[in-house]
Amino acid sequence: MNQETVTAPGEPIAGTAHFRTVFPTTAHGAHTARHAAERWLAAQHGGADAAGDDSAATASLLIAELTANAALHGRARGRDARLALTLTPAALRIEVTDARGERRPVPAPAADADGESGRGLLLVTSLADAWGCEPYPPGGKTVWAECALGSERGGG
């Protein structure tokens, strides 16, 4: 079951807006959380195409990768993951917390060209202005990515 907390829906971003949802660590759970976050971001910008640049697409890809990684690598029986977004006028911070703190993300040095996986963190590294991983007590981790919005975007 998803639980969402939102602030300032539909209003121009004058300060900081927050979105949080809890999702099961399954492919379907990650998919549902991503779509809820995309709808929230669109509402924050006044509509699906209101951002006027590629920041919405970048955010969607980052959210997809981080939630999918939590579903694939962060699964622990009986434990959900959490997606949290913090939106300011200048940047978006995406955080995904799961219960598997011992499995910290490490970008693959060279992904198998024919493989079906192994490129997610390379994509995150390429798209995000910054990303990292922090412990989340008592035994989990939070993987985060930040991207500048609009004219603040410096490229990844």
What are the pLDDT tens digits along the chain (156 aa)? 444 444 445 445 568 999 999 999 999 999 999 999 999 999 987 765 544 568 889 999 999 999 999 999 888 888 999 999 999 999 999 999 999 888 787 776 665 555 566 678 888 999 999 999 999 999 899 999 999 986 554 444
pLDDT for the residue numbered 8? 47
Round to whole Å and give the CA distance between 78 and 43.
Answer: 32
pLDDT for the residue numbered 126? 93
Residue 45 covered by a domain? yes
pLDDT for the residue numbered 153? 47
For 100-143, the DSSP string reads -TTS-----SS--TT-SSS-HHHHHHHH-SEEEEEEETTTEEEE
Count of domains forming the chain? 1
pLDDT for the residue numbered 108? 66
pLDDT for the residue numbered 46? 75
pLDDT for the residue numbered 146? 97
In a 13 Å sphere around the CA of 73, the CA atoms on its Cβ side amount to 21
Domain encompassing residue 25: 14-101+117-152
Residue 148 covered by a domain? yes
**Considering only CA atoms, which of 70, 83, 95 is closest in space to residue 146?**
95
CATH, residue 88 = 3.30.565.10
Round to whole Å and give the CA distance between 80 and 25.
Answer: 6
pTM of the model: 0.81
In a 13 Å sphere around the CA of 60, the CA atoms on its Cβ side amount to 17
Residue 29 covered by a domain? yes
Tokens of 13: 């971003």
Residue 40 covered by a domain? yes
pLDDT for the residue numbered 49? 52
pLDDT for the residue numbered 77? 87
Round to whole Å and give the CA distance between 105 and 118.
Answer: 11
Single-letter amino acid, residue 28: H
Residue 19 covered by a domain? yes
